[in-house]
Amino acid sequence: MAAPMFFCVVVTVTIVKLLLIPSYRSTDFEVHRNWLAITHSKPVSQWYYEDTSEWTLDYPPLFAWFEFLLSHVAKYFDPAMLKVTNLNYASFATVLFQRLSVIVSDLLLVYAVYECCQCVQVMGKKNSPQLLSQPMFVLAVLLLWNFGLLIVDHIHFQYNGFLTGLKLLSIARILQRRHLEGAFWFSLLLNFKHIYLYIAPAYFIYLLRAHCFTRSNRDGRVQWTSLSLLNLFGLGVVVLEVFAISFGPFIAMGQLGQVLSRLFPVKRGLVHAYWAPNFWALYNIADKAATAVAVRAKLLSPDDITQATMTGGLVQEYTHNALPTISPLVTVILTLAAMMPALVHLWRRPCTPRDFLRCLVLCAFASFLFGYHVHEKAIILIIIPLSLLAVESRQDGQVFLLLSTCGHLSLFPLLFTQAETPSKVCLMLMFSLFAFMALGSLHGSSKRRPYCLPLLSPVETAYIIGLVLLQLYCSLGHHALGLTTRLPFLPLMLTSVYCALGVMGSWLKFYFTTLTSVQHLKQS
């Protein structure tokens, strides 16, 4: 891809971000403003103790330092936003500064995407005259115009852009087989936002397997004697150094326990107020159905049912009636169990960076599907690395189209204000139209079925059409039928359950292709 084209993609998406400045902002805006204030006006020792606002600092130390840096620019915009007691302060200058800080910090994402585009491996078509058939261009658009990142960062307000940038940078370094740099960027990332622990197992196994063990046996198994202590030592130094810089001061001050208790609060419920489209959404709905059946069959008396369950999402604590209630430990075990085949698969092969990428996607999938109190925004963690695979192979392209459509649609309830509806619909349409067109023309449509979306099978096409119909019902039909007062949560529940089916489906499909790819390797 020519550099000017990349530049144009960057500039246009930046303009889109600038246009979104006056959009609705969630409470996360106030969260980050409060963190600016805390880091600016309190000594480091107070950062993790300060609780004037309910939005206490609950990101790892490096993110706090990042806010500290930002606050020194912020004072030139509006010093009033840096007062801890100035709760819910949102002057025009504050909004402008915070929005611009997200847009500017996205430059790291831009650089990382550029690096990733250089790593794309595709035979043949690399310099096709048609823009839509150039994998690098397609990848750049899929990553930079990612619908989830755009709405979560630039409407809802968060800093996922530059964090994703760090992640992509570490992936790019690993794809270039610069393992130590990859490890460095990833440990940096972990110290910015600990949600990326979800994908840490993939890093751990891959770096151990490919960096510390230098040789494989004939059959692809690891050669245990080839452990390079030097490599292991180097890796350990890089990772521990980052952690030491980040957590060191707090350990020295004896605050580690306090910091960790802020980072991992355990008082939340199994599902978020709005169910993320994962396994637990299906579990909850199964519970509801089972409860209804049990009440009919007189196995359960209506008095035993906690009424909160029927409002479906109003309360955070969720008690199951017919099915067993899930404890955090169960979710951890299930998550690890879901990751295990992928990790074992990665370990037992002379693994390439692409195997690592697949394993990373599977780890993200497992934590999203089975994790405790998962937020729907975590779907971005899966979609972003999957984009890299989608431009390289047809099968992954299929999974990507299915997953990105239903995953992004499940983000719709995040923006519930009416004025944002056209924005999100337009952005989603643009992204999906582009993804379908680009991946369709990239992977050729030799066996193009009539009446099907590009790359998708009839069942998947029907699923996507159902998704559109469901969305129409939720945004128009439900209100028109006058059910808004009687069943206020039905649209949200339908959306998350329907999307959960799609996410589960794409997970199984992706797992299947990953585990069966051994045969492809042997054949070739």
Which chain residues interact with other proteins by CB under 8 A? 8, 11-12, 15-16, 18-23, 96, 132, 418-419, 422-423, 426-427, 429-430, 433-434, 436-437, 440-441, 453-454
Q: Which is nearer to other proteins, 43 or 129 (CB)?
A: 129
Shortest reach from residue 421's CB to other proteins, in Å: 9
In whole angstroms, what is the distance from residue 297 CA to residue 483 CA?
Answer: 27
Closest CA to 384 of 176, 189, 149, 196: 149
Whole-angstrom distance, CA of residue 171 vs CA of residue 186? 8
Which residue lies nearer to other proteins by CB, 291 or 432? 432
HSE (CB half, 13 Å, CA atoms) of 291? 21
Q: Count the Cβ atoms, other than its own, within 10 Å of residue 419.
A: 10
* CB-count exposure of residue 185 (10 Å: 0-12, 13-18, 19+): buried
Q: How far is the CB of 8 from other proteins (least distance, A)?
A: 6
Residue 433 beta carbon to other proteins: minimum distance, rounded to whole angstroms: 5
Cβ at position 90, least distance to other proteins in Å: 15
Name the token pair of 330. Answer: 């169960």
| Tokens 């709905």 found at | 285
Least CB distance to other proteins at residue 465 (A): 12
Nearest to 275 by CA among 198, 376, 417: 376
Smallest gap from Cβ 30 to other proteins, in A, equals: 19
Closer by beta carbon to other proteins, 368 or else 400: 400
Shortest approach of other proteins to residue 464 CB, angstroms?
Answer: 11
Contact indicator for 390, 439 with CB cutoff of 8 Å: yes
Nearer to other proteins, 271 or 428 (CB): 428
Q: Which is nearer to other proteins, 462 or 494 (CB)?
A: 462
By C-beta, is 251 or 429 nearer to other proteins?
Answer: 429
- To other proteins, the closest distance from the beta carbon of 400 in angstroms equals 16
Cα–Cα–Cα angle for 395, 210, 188, nearest 5°?
A: 90
The C-alpha angle 101, 105, 110, rounded to 5 degrees, equals 140
Determine the length of the chain.
Answer: 524
- Return the axis-axis angle of helices 353-370 and 328-347, rounded to nearest 10°: 170
Residue 248 to residue 245: CA distance in whole angstroms: 5
Shortest distance (Å) from residue 344 CB to other proteins: 40
Do the Cβ atoms of 183 and 235 come closer than 8 Å? yes
With respect to other proteins, which residue has the nearer C-beta, 250 or 431?
431
Instruction: Write out the E strands in 68-205.
Output: none
Work out the angle at residue 286's Cα, subtended by the Cα atoms of residues 281 and 291, and round it to the nearest 5 degrees.
130
Q: Name which of 330 and 452 has its Cβ closer to other proteins.
A: 452
**Quick one: 19 or 293, whose CB is closer to other proteins?**
19
Within 207-352, residue ranges assigned H as helices are 229-252, 256-263, 279-296, 308-311, 328-347
